[in-house]
Amino acid sequence: MENLRFRAIAETFRHKKIEYQMPTKKPSEYFGEMTFNHSAMKEYLTDESFGKVMSAIEKGTKIEREAANQVASSMKAWAIAKGATHYTHWFHPLTGSTAEKHDSFITPEAGGKAIENFRGNELIQQEPDASSFPHGGIRNTFEARGYTAWDPTSPAFILGNTLCIPTIFVSYTGEALDYKTPVLKSSFALDIAAKAVCKLFNGDINRVFATLGWEQEYFLVDRALFMARPDLVLTGRTLFGHASAKDQQLSDHYFGTIPERVKEFMKEFETEGHKLGIPVKTRHNEVAPNQFECAPVYEEVNIAVDHNQLIMYLMENAARNHNFEILFHEKPFANINGSGKHNNWSLATDKGHNLFAPGKNPKENLRFITFLVNVLMGVNEYQDLIRASISSASNDLRLGGHEAPPAIISVFIGTQLTNLLDKIEASNDKSGLNEELKAGLNINVPNIPEILLDNTDRNRTSPFAFTGNKFEFRAVGSSANCAKPMLVLNTILAKQLSTFKQEYDALIEQGVEFEDAVYQIIKKYIIASKRIRFEGNNYSEEWAIEAEKRGLVNIKTTPGTLKTWVNERIIKLFEDTNVLTKRELEARMMIRYEKFTKKVQIESRVLGDMATNHIIPIAIRYQNTLIENVRGLKEILDLQTYGKVSKNELEIITAISHHISEIKRGVDKMTEQRKQANSLEDEEAKAIAYDEQVRVSAEQIRKHIDKLELMVDDELWPLPKYRELLFVR
Ligand code: ADP
Ligand code: MG
């Protein structure tokens, strides 16, 4: 068959059913077997070294060289026993994916022999030739060195035959060039600040850490069909395609039966994930056809971020093993739901408390309200930064559609908590406030756990929703590295909690007693952060108007959000908490401008090529057969009949000409816009030009292509259509 698309479909059905060989053991028996976890460390390390690693993990102490040598040699023994031949430092450069460079354990010896070797300094640090990683101007070419350094808090693991060691990545001058470094620093800042506040309520807390449970949405597309679409191959999304007659309108995919081939794929990546200690738990069909979700049990944030990156890798591999391609893009198909990555975020203590969960006694409830209100205060103060933390060229296409939260950040807390906060706010003299709340504490507040357990009032439209014992940050994009939004939330809360503590200390100094001091500040915060709370429909137009009145930012696309990172207030936030320096923030901003521009540039070029090389020639070919036909009719029919019969065809011929010339005109215009934009020196101006001109032209071109798709003979149409991409499995 000549048609590329039909060939792809035929290919799809030539596939044999592929089954994944499940291990014969129970998951609990192989869970974590490919990680250098506590039990592996216990087995391979001396008690002393084990103690040192555990102290590094739990208390942040440094591991000296000698101990590192011992850890390296044990790690090597463990990895070789598991079949590893190579090792790599595994890190998260600012490209957004992960990087690795494999080295063999082999070291040559005299006499033509070799031994497997892995020393402490190879574990602790490496110097990858990393001049091609994004650095936003931090590294000049003459100081192009970068270092990776071992993160002992995230367990080493084996992928294939390679021992992977999670590391941070910094420049010669010590600046962070990755996502992990600021996550670790923000966790440190949060621990200090949250612990200090926590100790007001429980004296015995030694550590506070953020927890993250991500929910990863994705699409699966048959691999043969995927390969027949250059836009999917090169940009991860369809740049055009008419809506399928049936897509998600019946909501018959959501939580439906998982198709057999998809289930085999899920079994594979989940099992491989379990071997790597990733606690994957939930799987289900999502709203859109061929859209699915996976979610693990939550973990400490740094590990959860690593595990999300790792699972995305495992999913890509497993998909290919089952002749699928996985799409993590936020909006692979127009007019149907895109994909997000809900980040469920909470705070835990070393004693097992969840600080965002209502407690079992009045004091714990007061602690809960304190943390809750501090989150509201922090989100209110830094809503612009939270918005900036989720922006990307691909997430721009999803936010604000009627499927995902808008670009306005607000917090949903539910009716019960709203009533509680309103009550606190309404008590207008201090003694009255205290009396009511003290009384309330004995009667109402301890009931909160019960009430909240029954609380089914959920707001799926909110970008940042309290869901009983955690906040769910829903605006994060499906392809994003969770590190960015997580480090932002941690940093904001760290700063906010230390402000709270300062205010509290000042009141105590004035002789105010504990509960009164806490209540005074809470009440002030409730009032000050009121505008950030929104319980209504975030998708509605009324909300955009209301939000503007409240002074909340509503920046719809990425270029407009990026300056936020270098705003004085934000630099101060990151410097006060010691998470990122001004130079690092500036560099990151530059990288984001460039990344945005390049992504849109690639999309625009691919669209131009496809329009010119695929669509226009086919439309002309079809138009020619119509013209042939009309000419033939003229030969065989009398003039009057011909006039009647040819009318419809002539209309189609004219319409095709119209769309072809609009496409041609659009592509020329878009190419000119790219040229103009490329000549701009300023990265911000360039990104804005790509956003406001190139992207807009691309959308116009798309409309005409989609119209042609409806007209041209199905057999001639060269590219798989939405109905095939979404329903063939
Ligand atoms: P949903 O109804 O939104 O799908 P789920 O009950 O499936 O919610 O939970 C979603 C995610 O929330 C899971 O990944 C889960 O691990 C995570 N989660 C639950 N409790 C916490 C917590 N304390 N901290 C962080 N994440 C949590
Ligand atoms: Mg959820």
Supply the pLDDT for residue 451.
Answer: 35
Q: Does residue 294 line the site of ligand 1, with CB under 6 A?
A: no
Q: Does residue 298 line the site of ligand 1, with CB under 6 A?
A: yes
* Strand duo 157-159 + 299-300: pairing: unpaired
Determine the distance separating the centroid of ligand 2 and the alpha carbon of 472, expressed in angstroms.
Answer: 7
Q: Does residue 295 line the site of ligand 1, with CB under 6 A?
A: yes
- CB neighbour class for 547 (10 Å; exposed up to 12, middle 13-18, buried from 19): buried
d(CA 602, CA 22): 40
d(CA 220, CA 218): 7
Q: Which atom of ligand 1 is nearest to the CA of 282?
A: 7
Q: Does residue 308 line the site of ligand 1, with CB under 6 A?
A: no
* Nearest ligand (C-alpha, residue 470): 1
Determine the distance separating the centroid of ligand 2 and the alpha carbon of 477, expressed in angstroms.
Answer: 13
Instruction: Please list the ranges in the chain whose pLDDT falls under 70.
Output: 1, 15-16, 129-131, 139-144, 428-457
* Nearest ligand (C-alpha, residue 352): 1
pLDDT digits (tens, 9 = 90+) for 560-590: 999 999 999 999 999 999 999 999 999 999 9
Q: Does residue 344 line the site of ligand 1, with CB under 6 A?
A: yes
Sequence-ordered list of residues with C-beta below 8 angstroms from that of 700, at least 6 positions apart, any chain: 662, 666
Q: What element of type H or E holds 326?
A: strand 324-327
Q: Does residue 85 line the site of ligand 1, with CB under 6 A?
A: no
Determine the distance separating the centroid of ligand 2 and the alpha carbon of 338, expressed in angstroms.
Answer: 15
Supply the pLDDT for residue 364.
Answer: 81
Supply the pLDDT for residue 446.
Answer: 30
Supply the pLDDT for residue 144.
Answer: 67
- Locate the domains of the chain by residue range: 31-178, 187-580, 596-725
pLDDT digits (tens, 9 = 90+) for 523-558: 999 999 999 999 999 999 999 999 999 999 999 999
* This prediction's pTM: 0.93
Closest-CA residue to 295 (of 390, 641, 307): 307
d(CA 555, CA 7): 44
Structure tokens at 470: 């955690």
* Strand duo 280-285 + 341-349: pairing: unpaired
Neighbouring CB atoms inside 10 A of 407's CB total 24
Q: Does residue 213 line the site of ligand 1, with CB under 6 A?
A: yes
The helix/strand count (H/E) of the chain reads as 27, 18
d(CA 622, CA 221): 28
The class level of CATH for 187-580 reads: alpha beta
Structure tokens at 689: 């030009």
pLDDT digits (tens, 9 = 90+) for 324-350: 999 999 999 999 999 999 999 999 999
Supply the pLDDT for residue 615.
Answer: 97
* Nearest ligand (C-alpha, residue 349): 1
Residue nearest atom 2 of ligand 1, based on CA coordinates: 467
- Round the average pLDDT of the chain to a whole number and report it: 90
d(CA 36, CA 74): 10
Q: Domain 596-725 classified CATH 3.40.50.11740?
A: no
Block residue for tokens 């705003």: 567
* Nearest ligand (C-alpha, residue 211): 1
Report, at the CATH architecture level, how domain 31-178 is classified.
Roll (3.10)
Mutation probe of ligand 1 site: the residue of 298, 305, 455 with most atoms within 8 A of C-beta: 298
Q: How far is CA 503 from the centre of its chain?
A: 35
Structure tokens at 184: 């670790």
34 close to 160: Cβ distance less than 8 angstroms: no
* Strand duo 208-222 + 324-327: pairing: antiparallel
Residue 640 one-letter amino acid: Q
Q: Which atom of ligand 1 is nearest to the CA of 346?
A: 24
Distance separating the N- and C-terminal Cα atoms of the chain: 21
Residue nearest atom 1 of ligand 1, based on CA coordinates: 215
Residue nearest atom 11 of ligand 1, based on CA coordinates: 213
64 close to 58: Cβ distance less than 8 angstroms: no
Q: Does residue 215 line the site of ligand 1, with CB under 6 A?
A: yes
CA 719-721-722 angle, to 5 degrees, is: 145
Helix axes 65-81 and 47-59, enclosed angle (nearest 10): 100
